[in-house]
């Protein structure tokens, strides 16, 4: 190999090395910005929750409809006034931060389609009974006495289109069970 060939290959090797280093640096910058935004957004959400908890915002019940629990033959078991959560924001907030709810009150969550659902008790002060209901208005699962401030997932297991939350003990007090049905109407 002549000296001229060796000299012409060195700049080519240096060029390749420079290109590789440039690509690595570029990928590192992109990864840094993507991950820093993810962590920043997470901090922002946590700050919003902390602000909501520390603020004096009072979440009070607003009657938007009525719901009755019926046995499988259609006989009335009990009735409650309901607040309705039918947007993503309303469903995410649910009964969080509420420090009281009357025995004859509850929240009805309405989803766009029937699918397995899962709730948790994050930032929820009140113990609740969580009632999963399918599109035929039949109760498919009841989680009794869900623990306040608990982040454990509480799945419906079966597909549900509606979820009703009432004070803990409500289902036992009125004998509401899986297979019973709901009927509801908006004001």
Q: Does residue 170 or residue 2 have the better pLDDT?
A: 170
CB 164 within 8 A of CB 77: no
CB 168 within 8 A of CB 127: yes
In this structure, are strands 76-85 and 105-119 parallel, antiparallel, or unpaired? parallel
pLDDT class of 104 with cuts at 50, 70, 90: very high
Q: Which fold has domain 65-186?
A: Jelly Rolls (2.60.120)
d(CA 107, CA 59): 13
Determine which helix (DSSP H) or strand (DSSP E) holds 102, and give its type and residue range: none
- Domain limits, the chain: 1-57, 65-186
Is the per-residue pLDDT at 8 higher than 60? no
Query: What is the pLDDT at residue 24?
Result: 78
Query: What is the pLDDT at residue 42?
Result: 46
Model confidence over 35-52: pLDDT tens digits?
554 454 444 445 545 555
d(CA 100, CA 59): 9
Is the per-residue pLDDT at 9 higher than 60? no
CA distances from 77 to 46, 55, 71, 136 (A): 41, 39, 7, 18
pLDDT class of 57 with cuts at 50, 70, 90: confident
Tell me, yes or no, if the pTM score tops 0.75. no
pLDDT class of 16 with cuts at 50, 70, 90: confident
CA angle 46, 49, 51 (to 5 degrees): 110
Residues 143-165, buried b or exposed e (16+ Cβ, 10 A)?
beebeeeeeeebebeeebbbbbb
């Amino acid at each position: 190999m002549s000296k001229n060939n060796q000299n012409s290959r060195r700049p080519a090797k240096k060029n390749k090395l420079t290109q590789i280093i440039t690509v690595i640096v570029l990928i590192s910058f992109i990864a840094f910005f993507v991950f820093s935004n993810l962590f920043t957004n997470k901090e922002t959400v946590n700050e919003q929750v902390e602000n909501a908890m520390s603020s004096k915002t009072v979440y009070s019940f607003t009657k938007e409809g009525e719901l009755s629990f019926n046995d499988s033959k259609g006989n009335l078991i009990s009735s409650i006034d309901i607040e309705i959560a039918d947007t993503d924001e309303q469903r995410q907030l649910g009964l969080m931060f509420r420090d009281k709810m009357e025995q004859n009150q509850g929240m009805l969550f309405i989803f766009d389609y029937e699918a397995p659902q899962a709730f948790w008790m994050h930032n929820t002060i009140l113990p609740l009974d969580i009632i999963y209901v399918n599109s035929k208005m039949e109760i498919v699962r009841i989680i009794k006495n869900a623990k306040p401030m608990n982040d454990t997932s509480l799945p419906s297991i079966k597909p549900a289109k509606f979820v009703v939350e009432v004070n803990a003990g409500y289902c036992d007090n009125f004998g509401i069970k899986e297979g019973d049905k709901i009927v509801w109407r908006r004001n």
